[in-house]
């Protein structure tokens, strides 16, 4: 179950599992909400399709969406939020690689290539081999200035480097507008103090066609795992009704984040609650005794067999219990506690036992 609340190649494909239903809910239920709408969620997501055979089909995803505002300031907030979330988890050297869906689409269309040729060009951009890229562009007779734009974009690693790009023709779509927005987003990132963690990657392409602006993917070094990703999807919400709202957001894959934390040396403490078996000849008394133990933090079961003491202890040992609590005719009377791990008995009171042991982790 997930709950909306205000938030104070593969990873983004998985993101669609929640982005699409969120867009549908916003379109159907939130037309009267003040904008911008800020939403967050944590939920289990289920993968579908043959491509996931052999891998987990269920995983935990956490995400945030900012809806109703189309600006570089909005993009800066979302980018700073994903960096902040990953740092709060305890990850170091967080990196966000960022591209722009429409910038890439406009320039690919300007080449005049068909689908197959565009796929080849995308592959060359991903390889970041400028010699092969130039050779390919020369071979398809791309105009020299367009070829130079591809080569320079391929070489850019930081958003600030985009300011030197030459855009002298409007026949390539609106690349100068896209670059201007990216540079404004950089200014917002500087104000948030995360500009050093965001890198430009012109080759960052996604199979999801609904992205209309920035796209990004978060990672940390030496893990090979995408931790999360997202982007701007200004046209998606309108598909589910007449409500047209720009939107941007991201999702984190929690399992990958945990693996990254382990790879960076974080040791997760094994936190297991102490387990107790409560036994009494009086059902009502056993129920009354179990209640404060559960409230104190014990994982508590009530003995249903009412066997003799030895069989009860044998059952507790075989079941992996930590304690057996023998209660008489009243919860206010002294109790006998058998410690399974130390094979010892002691007499105490229910209140004292709860205070000494309850809520503590082994």
Q: What is the mean pLDDT of each run of 10 residues along the chain (362 residues)?
A: 39 60 87 88 72 59 93 94 95 95 90 90 88 91 88 92 76 83 95 95 74 93 88 89 90 93 81 87 92 90 89 92 94 94 94 72 32
The residue whose two tokens read 């042991």 is 357
- Name the burial class of residue 148, with classes exposed (0-12), middle (13-18) and buried (19+) by CB atoms within 10 angstroms of its CB: middle
pLDDT in the model for residue 4: 39
- Name the burial class of residue 362, with classes exposed (0-12), middle (13-18) and buried (19+) by CB atoms within 10 angstroms of its CB: exposed
Distance from the first to the final alpha carbon of the chain? 30
* Neighbour order of strands in the sheet with 247-253: 37-46, 58-67, 247-253, 228-232, 214-219, 95-100, 198-200
The residue whose two tokens read 């982790």 is 361
Cα(95)–Cα(93) distance, integer angstroms: 6
Alpha helices, DSSP H, located in the chain: 11-29, 72-88, 101-110, 115-127, 130-139, 144-155, 175-192, 254-263, 283-296, 309-318, 350-357
Q: What is the DSSP letter of 195?
A: G
Domain boundaries, the chain: 11-263, 275-357
Nearest Cα to Cα of residue 76 among 200, 227, 159, 187: 187
Both tokens of residue 144? 């020299």
The residue whose two tokens read 């963690």 is 197
Core vs surface per residue 263-282: b (16+ CB within 10 A) or e: eeeeeeeeeebbbbbbbbee
Q: What is the DSSP string of 254-320?
A: HHHHHHHHHHTTPPPP---B-EEEEEESSHHHHHHHHHHHHHHT-EEEE-SS---HHHHHHHHHHTT
Phi-psi region of 250 (alpha: psi -120 to 50; beta: other; left: phi over 0): beta
Cα(358)–Cα(290) distance, integer angstroms: 12
Cα(13)–Cα(80) distance, integer angstroms: 22
Both tokens of residue 258? 């945990």
Instruction: Tell me how crowded residue 5 is: count the other CB atoms within 10 A of its CB.
Output: 11
pLDDT tens for each residue of 116-135: 999 899 889 888 888 999 99
pLDDT in the model for residue 217: 95
* Sign of the torsion angle spanned by Cα atoms 88, 91, 94, 97: negative
The residue whose two tokens read 């200004």 is 234
Q: What is the DSSP letter of 128?
A: T
pLDDT in the model for residue 3: 38
Cα(104)–Cα(5) distance, integer angstroms: 34
pLDDT in the model for residue 360: 42
Superfamily of domain 275-357: Anticodon-binding domain (3.40.50.800)
Cα(263)–Cα(300) distance, integer angstroms: 35
Q: pTM for the full model?
A: 0.72
User: Of all residues in the chain, what percent carry a pLDDT higher than 70?
Assistant: 87
Q: Do you find a cis peptide bond into 36, omega within 30 degrees of 0?
A: yes
Is 1.10.1060.10 the CATH classification of the domain at 11-263?
no
Instruction: Tell me how crowded residue 22 is: count the other CB atoms within 10 A of its CB.
Output: 21
């Amino acid at each position: 179950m997930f709950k909306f609340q205000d938030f104070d190649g593969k990873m983004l494909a998985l993101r669609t599992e929640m982005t699409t239903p969120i867009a549908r809910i916003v379109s159907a239920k939130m037309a009267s909400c003040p904008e911008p709408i800020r939403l967050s969620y944590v939920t289990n997501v289920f993968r579908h399709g043959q491509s996931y055979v052999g891998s987990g089909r269920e995983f935990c995803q956490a995400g945030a969406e900012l809806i109703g505002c189309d600006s570089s300031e909005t993009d800066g907030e979302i980018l700073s939020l994903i960096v902040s979330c990953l740092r709060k988890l305890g990850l170091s050297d967080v990196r966000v690689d960022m591209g722009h869906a429409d910038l890439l689409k406009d320039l690919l269309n300007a080449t005049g290539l068909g689908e197959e040729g565009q796929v080849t060009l995308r592959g060359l951009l991903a390889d970041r081999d400028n010699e092969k890229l130039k050779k390919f562009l020369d071979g398809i007779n791309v105009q020299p200035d367009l070829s130079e734009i591809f080569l320079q974009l391929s070489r850019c690693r930081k958003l600030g480097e985009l300011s030197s790009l030459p855009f002298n023709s409007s026949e390539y779509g609106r690349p100068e507008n896209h670059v201007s927005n990216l540079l404004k987003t950089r200014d917002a990132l500087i104000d948030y103090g995360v500009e050093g963690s965001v890198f430009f990657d012109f080759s960052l392409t996604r199979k999801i066609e609904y992205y209309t602006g920035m796209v990004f993917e978060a990672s940390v070094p030496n893990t090979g795992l995408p931790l999360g990703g997202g982007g701007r999807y200004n046209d998606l919400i309108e598909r589910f009704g007449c409500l047209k709202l720009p939107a941007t957001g991201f999702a984190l894959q929690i399992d990958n984040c945990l693996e990254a934390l382990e790879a960076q040396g974080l040791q997760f403490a094994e936190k297991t609650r102490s387990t107790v078996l409560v036994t009494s000849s009086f059902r009502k008394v056993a129920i009354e005794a179990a209640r404060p133990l559960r409230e104190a933090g014990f994982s508590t079961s009530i003995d249903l067999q009412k066997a003799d003491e030895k069989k009860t202890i044998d059952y507790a040992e075989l079941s992996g219990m930590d304690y057996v609590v023998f209660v008489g005719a009243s919860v206010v009377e002294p109790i006998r506690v058998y410690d399974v791990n130390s094979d010892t008995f002691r007499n105490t009171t229910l209140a004292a036992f709860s205070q000494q042991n309850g809520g503590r982790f082994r």
